[in-house]
Amino acid sequence: MHDSKSLSRRDFLKAGLFGTAGLAGIAAAAQSAATGTAKSPAFAPLPSVPSQDHTGHDLTGTVGDVDTSRFDPMQYLTHFDYGRISRLPTGQTLREWDITAVDAEIEVAPGVYFPAWTYNGTIPGPTLRATEGDRLRVNFYNGGSHPHSIHFHGIHLPSMDGLQVVGSGDRFVYEFDARPFGLHLYHCHVMPLKRHIHKGLYGTFIVDPPGGRAPANEMVMMMNGFDTNFDGENEIYAVNTVAFHYERHPIPLKIGELNRIYLVNITEFDPINSFHLHAGMFKLYRTGTRPDQWEYTDTVMMCQGERHVLEFTLEYPGRYMIHAHQSELAELGWLGFLEAG
Ligand SMILES: [Cu+2]
């Protein structure tokens, strides 16, 4: 066992009880422990009585907030990028996007910055959305310091699959038709893959069925994690990057309205992640490719790269907890609330 592990894993977000300074202190401490250059950090011991929320849940969450002017998880949740739309001479719809790989500092918990590689400056990158049969053109520019690519899931020519390395300062145009409909994703596919993915090069890619899906309140949730001290394990987990963000800011939903979550697992280092809804059940459409096939459950386990469409309606007013059902992941940031009213 590595010394830094005992510091970096379970202790990490617990320090959040003491706010930004404590959390940053632990991050710095874990970093120095990993490099073996510094002494023990100055951080406060855990309190003997944990704080609780109004439902009686013990809270291990963070204090304060991230700078939402740079990335607002609440906005990301419901923002879909349909691209620049035009029509080809054949009548086919063309959707075009410009995507730039760029190195950036990303705030993954209040006061904790992660030296990331991103698509268009955020983690996740933009949620790209098209309809089955559209022609897609993605103008990729690698403005980052390392070689990258974009690998899209779905059916297309192998030459458009993102295995070709795009060097720093180089460009590549990915062009293919959107198929099949379902919930897909895109991510960098340059080796070492683990490193390129966990650094933040990924986003959600939705292909709608030709007739669309039933009207619903739609949300995108990418389950992700961050190895803030580069020891090969995540210290922070979240949906949509910021630990505990939807715990501090419950997602407002309407009673009786159909909700649809596009749920993607891109967590690196852990073999699985999971999603659990409290006090409700959802229809689970695996990969979103078969509207006639679903299962009815309240928990789903997902390997890295798996994604599912979840549909549900909430009957009662109040806060419904959502979290990873692996307790450790929940305690390290993957926990939030839906607020029905
Ligand atoms: Cu890369």
- Give the model confidence (pLDDT) of 226-275 as tens digits: 999 999 999 999 999 999 999 999 999 999 999 999 999 999 999 999 99
Q: Evaluate if residue 307 carries a pLDDT over 90.
A: yes
Give pLDDT tens digits for 203-212: 999 999 999 9
When comparing pLDDT for 48 and 216, which is higher? 216
The number of angstroms, rounded, from the C-alpha of 281 to the middle of its chain's C-alpha atoms is 22
Q: How many angstroms does the Cα of residue 159 sit away from the middle of ligand 1?
A: 17
Specify whether domain 75-208 bears CATH 2.60.40.420: yes
Q: What is the pLDDT of residue 60?
A: 57
Measure 196 CA to ligand 1 centroid, in angstroms.
Answer: 4
Burial group, residue 149, by CB count within 10 angstroms (0-12, 13-18, 19+): buried
Measured CA to CA, the distance from residue 241 to residue 112 in angstroms comes to 12
End-to-end CA distance of the chain: 48
Specify the range with the lowest mean pLDDT, choosing from 17-26, 104-113, 200-209, 241-250: 17-26
Distance (angstroms) between ligand 1 centre and the Cα of 104 equals 13
Query: For 172-186, what is each residue's pLDDT tens digit?
Result: 999 999 999 999 999
Q: What is the rounded average pLDDT for all residues in the chain?
A: 87
How far is the centre of ligand 1, averaged over its atoms, from the C-alpha of 290 (Å)?
31
User: Distance between CA atoms of 240 and 155, rounded to whole angstroms?
Assistant: 26
pLDDT score recorded for residue 63: 80
How far does the centroid of ligand 1 lie from the alpha carbon of residue 199, in Å? 8
Ligand 1 centroid–CA 119 distance in Å is: 10
**Confidence class for position 327, pLDDT limits 50, 70, 90:** very high
Share of the chain above pLDDT 70, in %: 82
User: CB within 8 A of 45, min separation 6: which ones?
Assistant: none
- Binned at pLDDT 50, 70 and 90, residue 49 comes out as very low
Q: Is 14 helix (H, G, I), strand (E, B) or coil?
A: helix
Instruction: Encode 24-37: b = buried (16+ Cβ within 10 Å), e = exposed.
Output: bbbbbbbbbbbeee
